[in-house]
Structure 1
Amino acid sequence: MARWDADIVIVGAGAAGLMAGIWAGRTAPRTRIVALDGAQRLGAKILVAGGGRCNVTHERVTATDFAGSPPEAIRRVLRRFDVAAVVAFFEALGVRLKREASGKLFPATDQARTIRDALLKAAADAGVDCSHPRRVEAIRRADDGFLVCGNWGALTARHVILATGGKSLPKSGSDGHGYRLAAALGHTVTSTFPALVPLVLPPDHPLCALGGITTPATLRVRSGPGKTLASATGSLLCTHFGLSGPVALDMSRHWLAARLADPAAHLVINWLPALPDADVEQSLQTLGRSTVLRFLSERLPERLARSLLLLAEVMPTRTGAQLTRAERRALVSVLTQWVAPVIGDRGFTYAETTAGGVPLRELDLARMASRRCPGLYLCGEICDVDGRIGGFNFQWAWSSGYVAGVAAAQAVLADTAHGSSNNS
């Protein structure tokens, strides 16, 4: 039987890679597992997640919380290592998770380092040799295995798990090189673009002067002809560059995807999501002597109310009785169907995850194993799966990493058994 430097080489030691290594080591305890990562500091993306607290997962995760690959394909992987399994896994490592009102689960310590350190210790306990900085520049087939190369040298491996991440937060080490590695081994890569990324308005736009203001809002992505493609309601944050906050981040991937297919696609904002459009119209008709500014200030931050009146070209001191029909219609339009003049996004540097990647149809989802390259497994952000804000992308990392790690270890055990039977 051929000698290998490692039974399994994991390329990338982030959330998915560490999970894959832990479960590979637990499944086959004497397996030689090496995790290679190009970053100076392991788990950099874990440490900055959730504002430094690490939103580990969400209390309720379904395939509809994700985009990219088909929901049924995503569901097949998620159910192999679900939320309950994640909670139990971290509790066994001594990490208690707490649930917040939003349904998000964080470490009770409120420190992302708690998660990172627990994963590194679990990986070491499972026999994983985490080596960094060791950037992998190329992977080539060699005999029945792989040659994994970098400027540090080369390793031979029987199996390889790609857990390189996508393109988001490139300073953490995920600069998209993993896609090139996957393509060189026979995979296709769908169009990649930022997801969970803030959106940019023209620099002189009135909303850019409202930095720090938050309000509930409904955002809709519509095609050029006006068909609603996606919508969500949540907290919207005005910033010095444009729009952020959970609802803007969630809608960003849908706006970007729509624009790729239809340059006329646009983002529409309803600033009064709790009121039906007809109620807004009726309320303005019955204001009487009360001013439109007072009406809006009871429902929105006053600075935002003034800016929306400016956009509608209605004087703040106008009373309901003074409003013309044209002014009322203009104000209702701005309040409930304002087309945001989004000119772009803040890019991968500020994106929390990547949309696009290797399609799940190219994988045997029972093992996260490549259908194109025997012995290769893929997990985490490199796959064409991206979740909404709230811990869903970490859940994908835990689930897919678990499946890939267990499957790769089982393959090693099968190799060993096959070799033993041939020698007997």
Structure 2
Amino acid sequence: MKLKGQRGVLRGKLCVPGDKSISHRSVILGSLAKGTTIITNFLNGEDCLATIAAFRAMGIEIEQDNQVVTITGKGIEELKEPLEPINLGNSGTTARLLLGVLAGLPFHSTLYGDNSLTKRPMDRITDPLRTMGAKIDGRAKGKYLPLAVRGQQLTGITYHPPVKSAQVKSGVLLAGLLAEGTTTVVEKTKTRDHTENMLQAFGAKVDVQGLTVKIKGKQSLKGTSIQVPGDISSAAFFIGAAAMVPGSKITIEHVGLNPTRTGILDVVKAMGAKLSIVETSTIGGEKVGTITVEYSELKGITIAGDVIPRMIDELPIAALLATQAKGETVIKDAEELRFKETDRIATVANVLTKLGAHINPTEDGMVIKGVTPLTGTNVESYGDHRIGMMIAIASLVCQQEVILENPDAINVSYPGFFEDLNKLV
């Protein structure tokens, strides 16, 4: 795909697609619940469609009309053994959360994914699940897909995740819902809490005290209505674009403002961008509002510590912003980036360096020098939707044309990305 450089300012209003994390979880819990669940503003992207397909394979009746999904749930005990191995595509969220569910169901199942997902570590979730009594087997002792799961009666545990991962926390909590006794997860740093919020929206009792989350097993869920807010991870790329392209000013409406997800807003403001946020409502325990951002001269900062889990998916756009900020930006404590759809530390550094940036990757982040003029060249998304979107936004400040290879990777989370970008430019 050819992307013209320096296309002009961004102006206007926009609503981004539904939050990917919440869309996944609404399908999972709606499929485990008794009664009808109606999901509106569902993210109709490839990752979330993989979650729908997984539960259809277990006999759940799910109807979809674009962004509206209707699930006819009959309760956990009505899920059936899938007739074929379940294809998860590129979705790490589906893989890790679904493993938590399948570990406690009384049947056998097999999971596999695409080339990228097959390389991503699953032992971070299979290890605690085995401690609960799960029987899971696969390559490298269950570290990588494909994985075979022989569902068992699980027993609640107290778990201290060694990695800062909402997927791991969520997988353990979902297993805890099916287990005997109480399951407790104690985090080092607060990660996104959509699972805790949504479990309560479906009628489960969840005890959240600071970094500790407890759930009693054998609870029943009741179908409900879920209105999915706009995905702040998708909005972040337009926020970054408006902040760094001179003369730009945009407004993004109905965006999720969950405090565990708004690290990118804190970072953009710290870099000097003009940003205003207005909370408009709370839906299903999730804050929703409007974000307005306009261009301002940016400055380099240090991005580290507790803010990292609150913006882990937005670090590629933060790195791009750093190339256009005065001084040096240091990103650290972000080793989790190495276990995303790609090794995003290496990939971000490689892609932006090709475009002319000065970036030194480190073990847990990168050091970026700005302000650096970006040029144009052929660059690859590496099948990573966040990298693809970062490249598209980078083209707005590139001096020459950028040719993006494999732009279809963006469809994982934002099928209409280029149409929305063109509306604003």
How would you bin the TM-score normalised by the shorter chain? Answer: under 0.3
Q: TM-score, normalised by structure 2?
A: 0.25
Q: TM-score, normalised by structure 1?
A: 0.25
Judging by fraction of residues, say which structure has more strand. Answer: 2
Highest relative contact order (Cα 8 Å, sep 6+), 1 or 2? Answer: 1
Q: Choose 1 or 2 for highest CA Rg.
A: 1
